[in-house]
Amino acid sequence: MRKIAATYIFPCNQTPIKNGILICETDGTVVEIIDNKGELKEEAGLEFYSGILIPGFVNTHCHLELSHLKGKIEEKTGIGGFLGKINTLRNKEPDNIEKIIHTADRKMWAAGIAAVGDISNSVLTIGTKQKSKIYYHTFVESFGFHPSRAEKAFDYAQFIYSEFQANKLCASIVPHSPYSVSESLFNKIKENALVEKNILSIHNQESKGEAQFYKDGTGPIANHLQHNLGIDISHWKPTGRSSLNSILNYLPSENQLLLVHNTYTQKADLDELRKNRSLENTFFILCPNSNLYIENQLPPVSLFQNEKLNICIGTDSLASNHQLSILLEIITLQQNFPNIELKNLLKWATLNGAKALGIEQNFGSLESGKKPGINLISGVDFKTMKLTENSKIKRLA
């Protein structure tokens, strides 16, 4: 048994506790939290830390297999420049790519991340995920803009999925984005999702270009499809509506859904979404550092808060981020949206993420019986209850 006390405990499923004591098994399973009503109590065998105790982070959006692209893509070029670069670089895999993936996994663990929703287009991450101390849900991502590709693209995704399954790793087949999946491929993914009761995830409204492509069929996405990928897009009929509204039909309301980025999502999109599905099983993933890296734009977080959405946090990949750290995503959000309370940011980064990945039985909060990982955040300004540039994570369990 360990008794760990800190200036504050943020269990993330209940209000923060000042000078509380967390009792856990040596393997990190939470036994109980003792609320001393703010009084610090000396006890034998008590570990005391200055800082905040929180559960392990849940990173709801990552692409481990792109870890070798760290520092390879110029910042703030917009989605057109980014997609073009990814396309030319992603297949030039270095010989030591699996080692690079393994290192990224280790660094996430050290950064206090306990569970990850990870996008995969290949089997490259299987070895790392099998050995990792992190829980992974792999989103096997399928894409193919031309309808003639649907069959092949889906078969390939099924092959990748079966490899994850054979290695006893949790996975589901998901669409990449509204602009990279044909109607026929969307339908295959939807049918499969209904049968398998899959958790779905899709990149949503990440760029201005996505809106333009749905509005009039032009812009950087159209250019990318035609000129980088050499696809004939003559079959494409812009819907004149937002990309999200145009694809709701393919995202069954009974399936849990993670909408990733939401940089250009507006109130009208949310109103329409509500007509089609419950927001209870819909999760909005924010990847602020990646958004700043690619488009230099952030999502309307205050709108999302007012609309009481389930907000979660992701790092995206090292192709569009300097590190895979949920703490640094929180700091970016705090800098840009100073009105968001720390307890909310921490809940988004833990419990909401665990719910999004369907693992809240064991992750996301410091609750009796869970083994969620235990982190200490130091360098907190307790007067303002805000993180600072000196805030750091230390993993205690």
The distance of closest approach from Cβ of residue 289 to Zn ion in the complex, given in angstroms and rounded to an integer, is 12
For Zn ion, which stretch binds (CB under 5 A), given 80-88, 157-165, 221-229, 312-320?
312-320
The distance of closest approach from Cβ of residue 205 to Zn ion in the complex, given in angstroms and rounded to an integer, is 13
Tell me the torsion sign for CA atoms 78, 84, 87, 90: negative
For Zn ion, which stretch binds (CB under 5 A), given 33-41, 122-130, 314-322, 351-359?
314-322
Nearer to Zn ion, 259 or 397 (CB): 259
* In contact, 394 and 375? CB cutoff 8 Å: yes
Nearer to Zn ion, 60 or 282 (CB): 60
Nearer to Zn ion, 132 or 263 (CB): 263
Nearer to Zn ion, 19 or 290 (CB): 290
The distance of closest approach from Cβ of residue 54 to Zn ion in the complex, given in angstroms and rounded to an integer, is 25
Distance CA(250)–CA(231), nearest Å, equals: 23
Nearer to Zn ion, 203 or 355 (CB): 203
Q: How many residues bind Zn ion (CB under 5 A)?
A: 1
Tokens representing 219 are 């812009």
For Zn ion, which stretch binds (CB under 5 A), given 99-107, 131-139, 295-303, 311-319?
311-319
Q: Which residue is nearest to Zn ion (CB)?
A: 316
Taking CB under 5 A as the criterion, which residues in 315-354 touch Zn ion?
316
Distance CA(322)–CA(73), nearest Å, equals: 11
Taking CB under 5 A as the criterion, which residues in 31-50 touch Zn ion?
none
For Zn ion, which stretch binds (CB under 5 A), given 141-149, 186-194, 247-255, 313-321?
313-321
Nearer to Zn ion, 66 or 333 (CB): 66
Tokens representing 25 are 């098994």
For Zn ion, which stretch binds (CB under 5 A), given 45-53, 73-81, 216-224, 308-316?
308-316
Nearer to Zn ion, 316 or 329 (CB): 316
Given the rule CB under 5 A, which residues bind Zn ion?
316
